[in-house]
Amino acid sequence: MALIHDLQAELLNEDKSGGFVLLKLKFLASKLGADVLDDWVQHEIEGYPSDISVPEYRNTAITYTGTFADIAKQLNNIPIPSYLIEEYAGDQWTKYDIRSSLSLIDQQMKEKGDSKFGIDASNLALLLHGKIYGGMAIIKITSNIDIGSFLNIQHTVRARALDFVLKLEKEVPSVADIEVGGEVTNVSAADIATVTHLTQQDIHGGVTNITATGDIIALLVSVAKGDAAGVVEALQSEGLPVAEANELAAIVEAEEPGNPADPMGSGAKDWLQDRLKKGTAEAWSIGKPVLQKLITEAIKQYYGL
């Protein structure tokens, strides 16, 4: 069975661990030379390092209840307003990034069932001491992360992966030739560009719109006039390394624009030709036609042409 069809079947099978299915998607990504897709799969399989921003579906909130007491009375399981926690301790106690691997989340959901998830809130009790109810000591603080946050991760990863492989089969028919242990499949630059586009749209939910059919490529980016940071953001969103994006933005900022049909100045043209000759477009999993169109559109909007 073609790997793409095997993936589709397993993504629809709730009994299959999401983490296990992603291993197959990782194999497919490597065969396609899709570094942008591979990064997402790798983080979902292994977890997100502290220096990497998590996708929005992994952002959640933490709520708290507390037990307070003084010499005369005790208040049990009283909700503590998030506003007060953020005022006295900071929003790092109310906003939480779920960085665990998908496999660990799957396992925790099986083991905990309806049990609650939370974090160690002992330090928070010290930060809030005497600030919630005047004259009452904090005996205990209990944190709670809604189990729905973990269910949402499981569902979102499966849904995005399924959307991706369904569209991939339709837009890159040659993907059906990829099998485990099969012959190496040649992937064209246009196919890599399509994979990158689908990854941005269906996996990352990006706002840049690229469609590739044969030699016809249409691309829309959003860069405000004179916004060099916007140029960097647009280039990064499509796979350029941050150092390269910053270098090109600095060149564009320093030189005069061309015309609407040819907006690049001589410095930007030299920079682009140098990268195309070195094959870095393919190394960035973008493809030469997409890279050229992306840069042209970003520069055009930066100059307001």
pLDDT of residue 181: 67
pLDDT of residue 286: 65
pLDDT of residue 214: 35
Count Cβ atoms within 10 A of the Cβ of residue 24 and give its class: 0-12 exposed, 13-18 middle, 19 or more buried.
Answer: buried
Q: Report pTM.
A: 0.62
User: Each residue of 277-298: b (16+ CB within 10 Å) or e?
Assistant: eeebbbebbbbbbbbbbbbbbb
pLDDT of residue 289: 65
Residue with token string 């994979």: 195
Q: Are 76 and 64 in contact (CB under 8 A)?
A: no
CA–CA distance, 153 with 97 (Å, rounded to integer): 11
pLDDT tens for the chain, residues 1 to 305: 688 888 899 998 888 888 888 888 888 888 877 666 777 888 899 999 887 888 889 999 999 999 999 988 999 999 999 999 999 999 999 999 999 999 899 888 887 665 678 999 999 999 998 888 888 899 999 999 998 999 999 999 999 999 888 988 888 888 888 777 666 566 677 777 777 777 777 776 643 333 333 333 334 567 888 888 888 888 887 778 888 888 999 999 998 887 877 888 888 888 888 877 766 665 666 666 677 778 888 888 888 87
pLDDT of residue 285: 61
pLDDT of residue 52: 80
pLDDT of residue 58: 93
Non-local (6+) Cβ contacts of 162 within 8 A are: 8, 11, 12
Residue with token string 């099986």: 110
Helix (H, G, I), strand (E, B) or coil at 132: coil
Q: Are 40 and 199 in contact (CB under 8 A)?
A: yes
Helices (H), 47-140: 82-89, 102-112, 122-128
The pair of three-digit structure tokens given for residue 8, joined into one six-digit string: 């589709």
pLDDT of residue 75: 92
